[in-house]
């Protein structure tokens, strides 16, 4: 590094450390991460009009429960209604659906959720507020309060206030978080191929110095094999295209 380059580094980070040697600056903050997990889990919901997710986190920033809105376990969701309105309330989803907060609490992977924080897309309704209070959750982080003036939400706030449970609105610093399966290297098709090769040749890689592996560029009509002269060469190849390697 010449003097001019060093000065540039000093101006950029104040340390003289090259930019490529520094940690990322655009990583997710904890709150962004947990709210994103809630939004991702919402994609599992089959509700055609409202997909909501919830994520419960303990004091150590460990996720202890995830849930999304859906019908109860064992109830065929093809036989229950998903409508928001109907002449008969029994023909709507509301008497049947379980909210994301309920499912996150019921899906907990710890003994309890006392003292935890729940991240949820929508402000909890009065029924979910009861569950939050009874479970011992002490903090609610929500994104939207679009039903603020409904009786259910007014009752929810009253309950949470009486139970001294804090609630605050999440303020996103970015509009969207993109999940790109190609960001770590191989595409989904390539991952499947690598996993297949890893399983099929795991024994041979450990016991033979020379292994023939089907090249990823080959097609069923034109199979191209590569000859590797050493066990290490095979390991290096698999490591370079293994999406799970760190």
| Residues acting as catalytic residues | 101
Residue 104 DSSP class: H
DSSP E strand stretches across the chain: 53-57, 63-68, 117-122, 139-144, 166-169, 211-214, 225-228
The CA distances from residue 16 to 2, 26, 140, in Å, are: 12, 20, 42
Q: How far apart are the first and last CA of the chain?
A: 29
Cα distance between residue 176 and residue 200, in whole Å: 39
DSSP assignment letter at 19: G
What's the CA gap between 80 and 46, in Å, rounded? 12
* Side-chain-side CA neighbours of residue 111 (13 Å): 1
Residues 6+ apart with CB under 8 A from 134: none
Structure token pair of residue 139: 């903090």
* SS3 state at 155: helix
Say how far apart CA 118 and CA 142 lie, in whole Å. Answer: 8
């Amino acid at each position: 590094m010449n003097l001019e380059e060093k000065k540039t580094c000093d101006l950029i980070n104040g340390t003289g450390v090259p930019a490529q040697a520094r940690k990322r600056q655009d990583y997710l903050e904890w709150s962004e991460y947990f709210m994103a997990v809630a939004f991702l889990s919402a994609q599992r919901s089959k509700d055609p009009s409202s997909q909501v997710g919830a994520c419960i986190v303990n004091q150590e920033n460990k996720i202890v429960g995830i849930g999304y809105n859906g019908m109860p376990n064992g109830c065929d969701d093809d036989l229950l209604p998903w409508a928001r309105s109907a002449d008969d309330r029994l023909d709507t989803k509301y008497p049947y659906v379980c909210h994301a907060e309920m499912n996150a609490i019921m899906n907990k992977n710890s003994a309890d959720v006392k003292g935890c924080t729940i991240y949820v897309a929508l402000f909890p309704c009065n029924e979910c507020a009861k569950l939050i209070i009874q479970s011992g959750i002490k903090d609610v982080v929500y994104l939207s309060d679009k039903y603020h003036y409904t009786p259910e939400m007014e009752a929810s706030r009253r309950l949470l206030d009486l139970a001294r449970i804090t609630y605050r609105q999440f303020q996103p610093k970015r509009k969207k978080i993109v999940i790109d399966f190609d960001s770590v290297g191989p595409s989904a098709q390539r991952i499947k191929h690598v996993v297949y090769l890893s399983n099929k040749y795991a024994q041979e890689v450990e016991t033979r110095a020379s292994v023939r592996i089907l090249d990823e560029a080959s097609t069923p009509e034109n199979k191209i094999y590569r000859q590797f002269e050493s066990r290490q060469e095979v390991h290096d190849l698999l490591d370079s295209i293994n999406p799970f390697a760190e």
